Amino acid sequence: MKTKSILIFYLLLLALFSCSSENNDAVDPPISPKTKSCLTKSIKYSNGIESKHNYNEESQLIQTEWFNKEGEKTSTQNYIYSEGRVVCNNFDNDGNKTRTSSYDILQNNQIQFFLKQGEETVREFYKYDDNKYLIERNTEQVIRIFDLLSGTIVDSFIDNITYTYKDGNLIEVKTNRLHRSEVDPVGPEPNKVTLEESKTDYVEYEYDTSLINKQVEPEVLVALGYNTPNKNLPIKIIYKDENNVVTGSADISYELDENGYITSETHTQDDSNGIVAYKYNCITAEDS
What is residue 98's predicted lDDT score, i.e. its pLDDT?
Answer: 93
When pLDDT is averaged across residues 198-217 and rounded to a whole number, the result is 92
Report d(CA 283, CA 288) in Å as an integer: 7
What is residue 102's predicted lDDT score, i.e. its pLDDT?
Answer: 95
CA-CA distances (angstroms) from residue 57 to 39, 61, 223?
12, 10, 12
User: 207: left (phi > 0), else alpha (psi -120 to 50), else beta?
Assistant: beta
- What are 219-278's pLDDT values in tens digits? 888 777 788 889 999 999 999 999 999 999 999 999 998 888 899 999 898 666 788 888
- What are 8-47's pLDDT values in tens digits? 334 333 332 332 333 333 333 333 344 446 888 999 988 8
Residue 5, φ and ψ in degrees, nearest 5 = -60, -40
Select 2-287's CATH number: 3.30.410, 2.40.160, 2.60.40, 1.10.287.
Answer: 2.40.160
Q: Are 91 and 76 in contact (CB under 8 A)?
A: yes
What is residue 189's predicted lDDT score, i.e. its pLDDT?
Answer: 61
Q: What is the DSSP letter of 271?
A: T
- What are 71-123's pLDDT values in tens digits? 999 999 999 999 889 999 999 999 999 999 999 999 889 999 999 888 899 99
**0.95 exceeded by the pTM?**
no
Give helix then strand counts, H and E, for the chain: 2, 16
When pLDDT is averaged across residues 275-282 and rounded to a whole number, the result is 84
Nearest to 161 by CA among 141, 179, 175, 140: 175
- pLDDT surpasses 90 at 159: yes
Instruction: List Cβ neighbours of 127 (8 Å cut-off, separation of 6 or more).
Output: 108, 109, 110, 134, 135, 136, 137, 138
What is residue 9's predicted lDDT score, i.e. its pLDDT?
Answer: 38
Beta pairing partners, 204: 172, 238
**Domain boundaries along the sequence of the chain:** 2-287
Residue 129 C-alpha from the chain's centroid: 18
What is residue 288's predicted lDDT score, i.e. its pLDDT?
Answer: 38
